[in-house]
Structure 1
Amino acid sequence: MNHDDLSLEQLGAQAYGHHKAGQKNYDKAMEHAKSAGLYLAEAKARVAKRKDMTWPQFLKAHCDIGRSRADELIMIAEGRSEPSASADRVREWRATQAELRRTYGKSSKIHQQKQRSGRSEVDKERAEVETSIAAMLNRLTTKQLKEFEMHLRNVSFARNSLAVWTAAAA
């Protein structure tokens, strides 16, 4: 697109117009995402009470939304996530995978298997636990993370106090 014939004022006006249109569409998209999340949250709560259907089965049968996207929409509706945060995580994961492919060849899974085969069982177990914890932490809001940090500090303080008290009593 060539904009050589437009003045600075015209460029600014065009940019602002497109910005406002995009913002309006973004706001509308967020409203739709929140509404979808509210419906999905209700459906998820109802499905949880049933024994004949799981959450993924419900999604596949009734709305053709993937489980992670459905859970993300619920988080958006509950104010626990912004779409950009999830998009950033996906972008980061894809960049990591691309780097692994560039470094180790076509499949990063081959590299991951090579890495795992060289580890001891303890290292494998630790890696699995770290991955699990990282996934849990990624789902927490900033407020929840701060509360968790405070809890960990309190546990650490209590453990240190117990050690001092035990040493003094001995």
Structure 2
Amino acid sequence: MNQCLSSNLIGLNPAGLYDLAERGAVPVEDTEPKQPPTIKTSGDVVGIELVVDREILRGSGIPVNRWLTWHLGLRTAPSTRYFTFPEGHGEVRVTRMTSNAQVSSLRAVAAKFGLVEGCKFALLLNTSTDTASVRHICPQDACRARTATH
């Protein structure tokens, strides 16, 4: 119920009743979800540990914990924040919907970094510059992508 009511179209009016935002109701923001162990922060950087799967290789958006969107300030739905890669190598999109949160545009990232299905990588989002970077974090001796190139 709370997920549906966290829309930017619905909010609380001065009487404390739910109403439409177009009639002056103030949208209700999500409360902070529990931070998962796969998402870490350090200063202005948020790191998300991900594994390349078929959805990423297909170009589909992948679900992420709602804590990420909450931390990025996406507290009503729908809302989106973009992070660009340096030197014009595209962007990644983090989206908060009423039913889920997701990261999109990772197919090009996997291709650019030579990541294959099963590879682990860290997606690093700098919240002060809205830039993104990627770190391949598979162990050297256990990575199909790294052993295939050597």
For normalisation by structure 2, the TM-score amounts to 0.24
For normalisation by structure 1, the TM-score amounts to 0.23
Structure with the bigger percentage of strand? 2
- Structure with greater contact order relative to length (CA < 8 Å, sep ≥ 6): 2
Structure with the bigger percentage of helix? 1
